[in-house]
Chain A
Amino acid sequence: MMLVSRVLGRVLCAASKSESFATSAAAAAADSARKAQNPLEEFFEVDRSTDEEKPVVYGRGWKASELRLKSWDDLQKLWYVLLKEKNMLMTQRQMLHAQNLRFPHPERIPKVRKSMCRIKHVLTERAIADPDPRRSAEMKRMINAL
């Protein structure tokens, strides 16, 4: 969960919201520079070429209290980051199981999935708490559209 642990580190270090905006913007700009190379590589895990030499440490999922500090845009960006992470993990699991190998750390997928659930939960909380019914209906539609 490299991306999430990095994002997590940023969140935990940066207390204020404005700081997190700037850091997320910078990180995303860096991401876009790297992304120009190969979209196929987004289905594979970064920085994990040598395995079993040192135990890889993964961060935890996002908490709802942390997510409530974020803005709508931040949460939307985080949603897509988590979606790509989940796709990458599922790709890895499928490839390893196809060769009857063991998929290490399978608990990462539920962490990502529950973080995505918490994002939608936080956004729905905001939509419900909104005084204007029209806007809240619009927000709910935006959140739940498939």
Chain B
Amino acid sequence: MKTKKLNGERRGGDGEWGKALTERDVEDEEGIRVSDVWRPRSPEVRHREMGEGGTEPSRLGFGARRTNASTSSRASESEEEMGSRLGRRVIHFANLPIKLLLPSPPFDSIREIALKTIPSASKVEIRRVLESLYGFDVADVRTLNMEGKKTKRGPFLAAKPDYKKAYVTLRSPLSLSPDLFPVKLIFEERERIAAAAKAAASRRPAVVEGEDGRGERKHWLDERRREEPSGYRGKRAAAAAVGVRRRGGGGRGGRAKKGQEESKFPWSSMRLSESA
């Protein structure tokens, strides 16, 4: 087997792009054999923040796809360069937009988080990004696809983009301080809305006047309910009677009720009372 030719002449010399790129340049005339290589490093590690690596630029998390020159073996370097040939895909520039929805009010122990992403994000990808980029310890990810809201303005349909909701269960509860920027504003707004709704609800009975000038709450079925027994009897009588007698069989109560309802809804040709 030919020895691998590490580009020693370029290491450290090509200052234009820094050491990182040059040391990655590995040329193997024979080509790489996948069976030679097994690297336990997962894609998460490759784009983990550099705080976990050493202080040398070459050992930094992002660049740690290839280890230091002294410790790199030929197999490992070759595998890193031809990472696309292996089963494990290495993503160097992950681009997953994640919008966190505000967690529910008791902020001390948050066990579940809700996120919104693009519909093409998979559970596995979401889990990997959260674990490696943000450092959540994820127990479970559940997803569902949602359609964006659509409104019609005349002939035109305006649609908001479809999204994917993800509910992420954490292994250990987290907390969120309400001092962070938008949180306080949102709570103030919610309280304002709740207060306005409550005020409106409490104000409503006093403001509304009955149609007869009475101040109580009226319901259009009130008379109907009161007249119910007589109306029922009237209907029974009408059902028993034939044709002409039906109108008269309604009884005084039914006719009076019908008259009242007609005055309330003069435009309606519907028969509102049972006795009609």
Contacts and interface: CB of A to CB of B under 8 A. Distances in A.
Interface of A: 17, 21, 25, 28-29, 31-33, 35, 38-45, 48-49, 51, 70-74, 76-77, 79-80, 83-84, 86-87, 90-92, 94-96, 98-101, 116, 120, 126, 132, 134-135, 138, 141-143, 145-146
Contacts of B84: 138, 141, 145
Contact of B134 (A39, A95, A134): A39
A146 B103 CA distance: 29
Do most interface residues of chain A lie in helix, strand or loop, or is the interface mixed? helix
B21 A72 contact: yes
Contacts of A80: 47, 49, 62, 94, 133
Nearest to A94: B99
A135 B25 contact: yes
Interface residues of B, number: 59
B51 A29 contact: yes
7 contacts: A32-B49, A40-B174, A44-B182, A45-B180, A73-B20, A79-B93, A87-B100
A32 B57 contact: no
A74 B51 CA distance: 14
Given A44-B182, A49-B181, A95-B186, A73 B18 contact: yes
B63 A87 contact: no
B146 interface: no
A58 B29 CA distance: 51
Given A31-B51, A32-B49, 7 more contacts: A39-B134, A40-B113, A74-B18, A98-B186, A99-B193, A126-B17, A126-B21
Interface in B201-250: none
A77 to B, nearest CB: 5
Given A28-B49, A40-B100, A87-B97, A92 B182 contact: yes
B102 to A, nearest CB: 6
B91 A145 contact: yes
Given A72-B20, A146-B91, A91 B99 contact: yes
B100 A91 contact: yes
A51 B183 CA distance: 12
**Which residue, A73, A95, A101, has most C-beta atoms of chain B within 10 A?**
A73
Interface in B123-153: 130, 133-136
